[in-house]
Amino acid sequence: MFDIDLWREIFQSINKNRTRSLMSGFTVAFAILLFAILFGIANGLKNTFKEAFGTDANNSIMIFPGRTTKAYKGLQVGRQIQFKNEDRALIKEKYGDKVQFITSKVNKSVSASYRGEKNNYELRGVYPEFMFIENNVVKSGRYINQNDLDNKAKVVVIGKSVEDDLFYKENPIGKYINLSGIQYKIVGVFTDDEGDSEESVIYMPITTAQFVYGNNDFIDLLHLTYNPEMSNDQALAFGNSIKKVLKDKFDVARDDQRAIRMRNMAEGTKKVELMTSSLTVIILVIGFGTLIAGIVGISNIMIFVVKERTKEIGIRKALGATPRSIVSIILIESIIITTIAGYIGLLIGVGVLELVGPSLEAYFIKDPGVSNSLVVGATLTLIVAGAIAGYLPAKKASEIKPIIALRND
| pLDDT digit string, tens, across residues 372-381 | 777 677 777 7
Nearest partner of 365 among 25, 32, 44, judged by Cα: 44
Place 13 in a pLDDT band, splitting at 50, 70 and 90: low
Q: What is the pLDDT of residues 280-299, one digit of tens each?
A: 787 778 777 776 776 677 66
Higher pLDDT, 53 or 169: 169
Q: How many CB atoms lie within 10 A of CB 195?
A: 14
182 or 362, higher pLDDT: 182
Q: Which amino acid is at 383?
A: I
CB-based contact 81:259 (threshold 8 Å): yes
* pLDDT over 90 (residue 197): no
Least confident of 52-56, 346-350, 391-395, 403-407: 52-56
Q: Between 110 and 331, where is the model more confident?
A: 110
Higher-confidence residue: 308 or 54?
308
241 has pLDDT over 80: yes
The pLDDT of residue 361 = 73
Closest CA to 51 of 191, 190, 192, 194: 194
Model confidence at 12: pLDDT above 80: no
What is d(CA 183, CA 155) in angstroms, rounded to the nearest whole number? 9
Predicted confidence (pLDDT) per residue in 61-74, tens digit = 999 999 999 999 88
Residue 50: pLDDT band (50, 70, 90) is: low
Q: Single out the residue of 123, 131, 138 nearest to residue 101, CA to CA.
A: 131
> What is the reported pLDDT for 249?
95
* Segment 20-37 mean pLDDT: 78
**What's the confidence (pLDDT) of residue 403?**
65
Length of the chain: 409
Q: Convert the chain into a string of H (helix), E (strand) and C (coil).
A: CCCHHHHHHHHHHHHHCHHHHHHHHHHHHHHHHHHHHHHHHHHHHHHHHHHCCCCCCCCEEEEEECECCCCECCECCCCECCEEHHHHHHHHHHHHHHEEEEEEEEEEEEEEEECCEEEEEEEEEECCCHHHHHCCEEEEECCCCHHHHHHCCCEEEEEHHHHHHHHCCCCCCCCEEEECCEEEEEEEEEECCCCHHHHCEEEEEHHHHHHHCCCCCEECEEEEEECCCCCHHHHHHHHHHHHHHHHHHCCCCCCCCCCEEEEEHHHHHHHHHHHHHHHHHHHHHHHHHHHHHHHHHHHHHHHHHHHHCHHHHHHHHHCCCCHHHHHHHHHHHHHHHHHHHHHHHHHHHHHHHHHHCHHHHHHCCCCCCCCHHHHHHHHHHHHHHHHHHHHHHHHHHHCCCHHHHHHCC
Residues 86-100 have pLDDT tens digits of 999 999 999 989 999
Q: Which of 20-24, 274-278, 398-402 is predicted least confidently?
A: 398-402
Q: According to the model, what pLDDT value does residue 194 have? A: 78
pLDDT for position 346: 81
pLDDT top residue among 94 and 196: 94
pTM here is 0.67
Q: At what angle do helices 265-308 and 323-356 cross, to 10 degrees?
A: 140
Q: Name the residue with higher pLDDT: 273 or 125.
A: 125
Q: Lowest-confidence range among 183-197, 201-215, 342-356, 393-407?
A: 393-407
Per-residue pLDDT, 315: 75
Averaged pLDDT for residues 195-206: 91
CB of 212 within 8 A of CB of 182?
yes
Is a pLDDT exceeding 70 seen at residue 405?
no
pLDDT of residue 212: 94
- Of the listed ranges 24-33, 117-126, 247-256, the least confidently predicted one is 24-33
Pairing of strands 137-141, 182-191: antiparallel
